[in-house]
Structure 1
Amino acid sequence: MGARVTRADTGRAAGGDVRAHDLVPPEAGSELTLRQLELGTDASHVIGTPIADTLLFVAGGTGSVERDGQSLPLATGSSVLVPAGSSAGVAAGADGLAVVEGTVGPACDLHAPMGPTAVLAQLDHVEPGKATGSRSFQVLFDAGNGSTRATLFVGHIPPGKAPWHYHLYDEIVWVVAGEGRLHLGDTVEELGPGSAFRLHPREVHIVENTRADRELSVLGLFTPAGSPSAAYLEPDVFATYTAG
């Protein structure tokens, strides 16, 4: 199995400039992509496509987003939804702006809407949910606030690792903070801030937190929309696993 983990150049964009780094490019059979954008001081950028939903996560800096006549502030932990066929303008402040941009193509299953569409979500305002073992997650966008094609969330992984497991959804993961390892079969790859990788449906894996003193925080984007807690075990693992 070849290398799966990628990482962008972390150099900062000059004032007024916009730098783009493809992290997880398009792939046959998947509707998800991920790239990183660095906006220099006072730089601006228009996001949105005619056919794909776009979701942004602010990794650092400050700025603003303008959509449908609204101008809203952006800070670390902010997330923005731009549905297919619409656009939004993102502007960096004095400190510049670092964002991760995911796109979700039109062939994804559409979840029934479960609430009004939001433009902005803020990580600090989201209650955590419980995942496998002592892991937790915070959902930024899903069918409850307008993202009917995909779920965007931040997962918090304590020191150690979960058992081998898989998901039914197609997913891209980006490391927000911390250090760890991705286990896929016999392949083990190191993870750090800015690392990104794709997980295919039913691909058995482990994401391990190798630091004993802090959580590993990851941004996840997956389709179809649903709960990040939906994890499945192989029969031999299930027989020996006790949820804690």
Structure 2
Amino acid sequence: MAVVLHGACVVRDLTEGDYVHSGTTKVWDQFSLKEGGESLSLRMIQADPGLSPGFSPIPNDDVLFCTEGRGIIWIGGNPYPLEADTAYFIPAHHAFCLRQDDETPATLVSSQYPEPRPTEFTEPQTDTQSLSEIPPMARLWEQESQTSGERWYRVLLDRRQNSNRITQLVGAIPPGRAPNHEHSFDEVIVILRGVGRMWAGDRSTPLKPGSCVFLPKNQTHCIENTGADEVRLLGIFARPSDPGSGFIF
């Protein structure tokens, strides 16, 4: 059940509520402009084994993060490895589809920018089309680890993959409570590992793997790690990555 904290901060589960379905694929749309944000959305994609339907081109950039999966993802008809802990940049006006080769479903998190659109399906496109020569993907384990206080993070998608308006990273928070802070841009968070609490103002709610959070700009917030191990999260920011600027999450 969705929990609304101070301001327009919303916490819910990735597979909460209704979903749209086509062929092998289910999609849960969790956050959109109706949450009060200006630009950033979040949806959960689950694809059973086999070839998925195509996701129709949209006039927005779309960033994906695969939490489970092994196979192929076609972006604009170009094939790339589908792997867990890997991010993918879908440029505006490009369709994508995927083939899951494992026996269990592939799961991906998707965020659109700047005008989220409802999910629409089309025929899968697996023939190569024009796309940048820069590979539109980034593996978590290949990225440089950076620090922010006692926390670490690795930026996956930014200007290096031509994602010039949105940044995606994976970060970790040790046991304890991170400092209160706010951002001048919308943010969505997905908890990948660990347990804790999401704080917005003087209210909080539990977090666990699969929890997702929408944070509008200028909302004071923090994450408290209430477990013995790190909380690992996926963070998506409606801002470009500026070298040397760092991130707080």
TM-score bracket, normalised by the shorter chain, equals 0.7 to 0.9
Aligned counterpart, 2:219: 203
> Equivalent of 1:123, from 114, 135, 140?
140
Distance 1:63 1:201 in 2: 36
1:64-213 correspondence to structure 2 within 5 Å: 64-95=72-103, 96-105=105-114, 117-131=134-148, 133-212=149-228
Give the TM-score taking structure 1 as reference length.
Answer: 0.81
| Alignment check: 8 A CA contact 2:89 2:161 kept | no
Number of equivalences: 221
Offset of residue 29 of structure 1: 4.3
Give the fraction of aligned pairs with identical amino acids, expressed as a percent. Answer: 28
SS of 2:74's partner is strand
- Matches of 2:111 and 2:165 in 1, distance apart? 12
State the match for 2:124 in structure 1.
Answer: none
SS in 2 for 1:94: coil
Structure 1 counterpart of 2:85, which letter?
Answer: G
Q: Work out the CA distance in 2 between the residues paired with 1:191 and 1:137.
A: 19
Q: Distance in 1 between matches of 2:31 and 2:115?
A: 18
Displaced runs of 4 or more, over 2 A: 25-29, 45-50, 67-70, 115-118, 226-232
CA distance in 1: counterparts of 2:13 and 2:41, whole angstroms? 14
In the alignment, the residues of structure 2 paired with residue 210 and residue 43 of structure 1 have an alpha-carbon distance, to the nearest angstrom, of 40
| Residue 56 of structure 2 corresponds to residue 33 of structure 1 | no
Residue of 229, 235, 239 corresponding to 2:246: 229
Output the TM-score relative to the length of structure 2. 0.80
Check 1:145–1:8 CA distance in 2 against 1; reply closer, same or farther (3 A cut): closer
Partner of 2:232: 217
CA contact (8 A) 2:40 2:115 kept: no
For residue 23 of structure 1, the aligned residue among 30, 46, 63 is 30
Deviation at 1:48, TM superposition (A): 5.4
Contact (CA 8 Å) 1:117, 1:147: kept in 2 or not?
no
Q: Give ranges in structure 2 of 5+ residues lacking alignment.
A: 117-131
Q: 1:231: Cα distance to partner?
A: 4.2
Q: Quote the RMSD (CA, aligned, Å).
A: 2.7
1:235 is matched with which residue?
A: none
